[in-house]
Amino acid sequence: MKSVLNNRPALKEDIEKVAEVAGYLWQKGWAERNGGNITVNVTAWIDDELRAQSPISGPRAIGMTLPRLRDCWFFCKGTGRRMRDLARDPMAGGALIRITDDCAHYQIVADRLVTPTSELPSHLAVHDYLLAKGSPYRASLHTHPTELVALTHNKKWLEKDAATRMLWSMIPETKAFCPRGLGIVPYLLPSSLELAEATIRTLDQDYDVVMWEKHGVFAVDTDIVSAFDQVDVLNKAAQIYGAARNMGFEPDGMTDAQLRELSDAFDLPK
């Protein structure tokens, strides 16, 4: 059967990156059952032939109107699909969709009928926000990194930038590779419009990674590998903190002076 990926190397590469990251999430234990989601804006790789291809589904309502997504194309994890499914066969575990001209519906245009994730509206709302802002970011990731989620069960880490300061201080690479730190969203119902709106408000405060209390993280970046890398680095810092506590002591962390020196040396935000 002819695949939409045939003779489209850039589109294929982007979707293969999704499969690669999905495998990492499963291996790390951050994607239990069908947990987590990935949505990537692949509009740049869509050619006229694919635009003219008949969809395999009729228009389906998004549940909101997103004016900047007119004729945008996305690849996203399928509903009920597991990250390990996506890693093994992305076109069976994910959906390629086009946003219709009314900006309120989507159609599936792909090799087989895979319904997108139930969290599609919130992911698309973020992508609409990113385009409105003129951001180069085209990938969004939601996953459940164990140590970062554990931190949110202690109220002191829910204070603004408290977790950021601690995580930056665990190892120099954390601030170097995650210079905008970790935004915090207090607990809200998963998949809710309220959670999507709170996430966008937090991203608008210049964060790239947002922590959902007692739930998981939401990260955005230029591509899905970069979004994963930010979460991976932050969670490594949380692991170092937890390891020190398990050894029976509170880690000293890098000093403010050391963090300022790091910022100056690598031209990072203060």
Residues assigned a catalytic role: 119
**Strand 105-108, strand 60-61: pairing:** antiparallel
In angstroms, rounded to a whole number, what is the distance separating the alpha carbons of residues 223 and 49? 24
Bridge partner list, 107: 98
Q: Which of 105, 112, 96 is nearest to 50 (CA)?
A: 96
The residue assigned the tokens 């909101």 is: 64
Q: Which of 84, 95, 92 is nearest to 120 (CA)?
A: 95
Strands of the sheet with 139-143, listed across from one edge: 60-61, 105-108, 94-99, 73-77, 37-41, 139-143, 216-221, 209-212, 182-185
